Amino acid sequence: MSSATAMVAAEEVASRHALGRTAALAVTAVGVATPAGLDPVELARAVLAGRQGSADTEGLGDEALPPRGARVVPELQNAFAEHIGRKGNRHLDRTTRLGLLACQFALEGHTGPVGPRTGVVLGTSTGSIRSSSEYSMETLRQDRPYLVNPSLFPNTVMNCAAGQIAIRHGLKGVNATLAGGHLAGVQALRYARNALRQGHADRLLVGGVEEYCAQSAWGWHRSGALGIDAPVGEGAAFLMIEPAAAVHAAGRRGLARILACETAFAGGRGLGDALAAVIGAALVRSGKDPAEVQAVSLGSTGQRGLELVEQRAVRAALGGRLPQRVIRVKDTVGECFSSGGALQIAALLGAWQDQGAAAAGETAVVTAVSQEGQVGCVVLDTNELGTGELGAGGLGD
């Protein structure tokens, strides 16, 4: 490499990593498929009213289900046929269907361009555990272990739903699937933030999917991780995430700003201390005072040993109080594992949408804790993107 070329290359790399280091992200659309409906406002109303989502598990396969509450997206086949169509979709599993549906709604609500540099960041835990475990089961049940259906093989890989979403909408940009369990929402936003910041993509559909099935319902039931009354649920939520500056420059407005998405690993520390520290760090990064937080959307409801840890940590980080609005989505949608984080945010956005002008100036934190030791926090606010005042917050350092 000539030294001149090397210099230009180094400058390019330097400017890339400096790019947008202080840029906030805008959520410009949201789409959901939940046991409480296919609309974020419906979801928010159900959550805030303490209404349970649908518990109808008809048609979810032949396996007996555990004696525990369920929350299931009602009439998924019909909704799918209506909004996506049946043609060529015979082999799609429930995880992929939920993902396609939520992304469809997010794209319908997106007012800007889509273009070639649009991508997908999808949070999961194991992909469709029903698809992979049934495939494995076939190798045991068939006369010959290889007599599995080749058309169903792609359903066993965890990136299946993100790949299908890309195919349906022609999204050739960054396409990532991450296995984050309870941290998947925070992690998907972090992955997206980095991809946008480095200029790898212009806008990203960011979310999570978890399907209800006998395998995961029994898994939760057997694991002992859930409280006795905690229902197992399902759902998908996707946010259209774009750099706030680009949205503003195009004369569009977002639903909310994402000011921080922080994560850490507790390791030897207590989970609670680690979470409190991460919330604190996220608020500092957002340029927000703990006293400014009016809402929290919790992630560990129903999780034995984690629920109280999470609440204590939020209290500790917010000056000894819980904010006036505490959103617990799991009473409505059930334990949704890797889509829980995205649903926590979607419910919050739905509530803000429902309130209209009354939500102006509100700041919220969204928290996540995993059994393995990961903790995370997202900070959002309703700052009017249209005013051009992006405030002191941002995703810089």
Residues 182-201 that bind another protein (CB under 8 A): 183-184, 187, 190-191, 194, 197-198, 200
Instruction: Report 198-217 residues binding another protein (CB under 8 A).
Output: 198, 200, 214-215
One character per residue 269-308, x = contact with another protein (rule: CB under 8 A): x----x----------------------------------
How far, in Å, are 164, 195, 218, 245, 337 from residue 130 at the CA level? Answer: 17, 31, 11, 41, 15
The distance of closest approach from Cβ of residue 40 to another protein in the complex, given in angstroms and rounded to an integer, is 26
CB atoms within 10 A of CB 109: 15
Residue 52 touching another protein (CB under 8 A):
no
CA gap 227, 211 in Å, rounded: 20
Q: What is the separation of C-alpha 197 from the centre of its chain, rounded to a whole number of angstroms?
A: 19
- Select from 150, 251, 356, 388 the one that contacts another protein (CB under 8 A): 150
The answer to whether the beta carbons of residues 32 and 40 sit under 8 Å apart is: yes
Q: Which helix (H) or strand (E) is 122 found in, with range? A: strand 118-124
Q: Which one-letter DSSP state was computed for residue 319? A: T
How many CB atoms are closer than 10 A to CB 357?
A: 7
- Which residue of 245, 264, 281, 322 would you call a contact of another protein, by CB under 8 A? 264
Q: Are 276 and 296 in contact (CB under 8 A)?
A: no
- Minimal distance in Å, beta carbon 194 to another protein? 5
HSE, CB side, 13 Å, CA atoms: give it for residue 373. Answer: 6
- Considering only residues 34, 104, 128, 159, which one is a binding residue for another protein as defined by CB under 8 A? 159
The smaller minimum CB distance to another protein, of residues 141 and 321, is found at 141
Segment lying near another protein (by CB under 8 A), choices 48-56, 146-154, 314-322, 380-388: 146-154
Q: 126 - beta bridge partners? A: none
- Copy the structure tokens of residue 149: 């259906």
In angstroms, what is the minimal distance from the CB of 6 to another protein? Answer: 8
Which member of 26, 47, 98, 174 binds another protein (CB under 8 A)? 174
Q: How far is the CB of 8 from another protein (least distance, A)?
A: 7
CA–CA separation, 382 and 353 (whole Å): 10
Distance, in Å, from the CA atom of 166 to the CA atom of 354, rounded to the nearest integer, reads: 30
CB of 395 to another protein, least distance (A): 11
Contact pattern for another protein over residues 54 through 93, marking x by CB under 8 A: ---------xx-x---------------------------
Number of residues near another protein (by CB under 8 A):
96
Q: Which is nearer to another protein, 114 or 246 (CB)?
A: 114
What's the min distance (Å) between Cβ of 99 and another protein?
A: 12
Separation between Cα atoms, residue 112 and residue 206, nearest integer Å: 16
With CB under 8 A as the contact rule, the residue among 55, 114, 179, 281 that binds another protein is: 179
**Residue 26 DSSP SS3:** strand
Residue 178 within binding range of another protein, rule CB under 8 A: yes
Phi, psi (deg, nearest 5) at residue 33: -135, 110
* Span 328-387, contacts to another protein by CB under 8 A: 370-374
Residue 44 or 120 having the CB closest to another protein: 120
Q: Which of 149/387 has CB closer to another protein?
A: 149
Smallest separation (angstroms) from another protein to the CB of 17? 3
The answer to whether 395 touches 259, Cβ cutoff 8 Å, is yes
- In the bound complex, what is the minimum distance in angstroms from residue 268's beta carbon to another protein? 7
For another protein, the closer CB: 183 or 316:
183
Contact call for residue 171 and another protein (CB under 8 A): yes
Number of neighbours of residue 318 by Cβ within 10 angstroms: 21
Which residues in the 94-133 window bind another protein by CB under 8 A? Answer: 119-120, 124-127, 129, 132-133
Question: Token match 């406002």: residue?
Answer: 41
CA dist., res. 316 & res. 220, Å (int): 29
- Greatest pairwise CA separation for the chain in angstroms: 70
Whose Cβ is closer to another protein: residue 1's or residue 357's?
A: 1
Amino acid symbol at 260: A
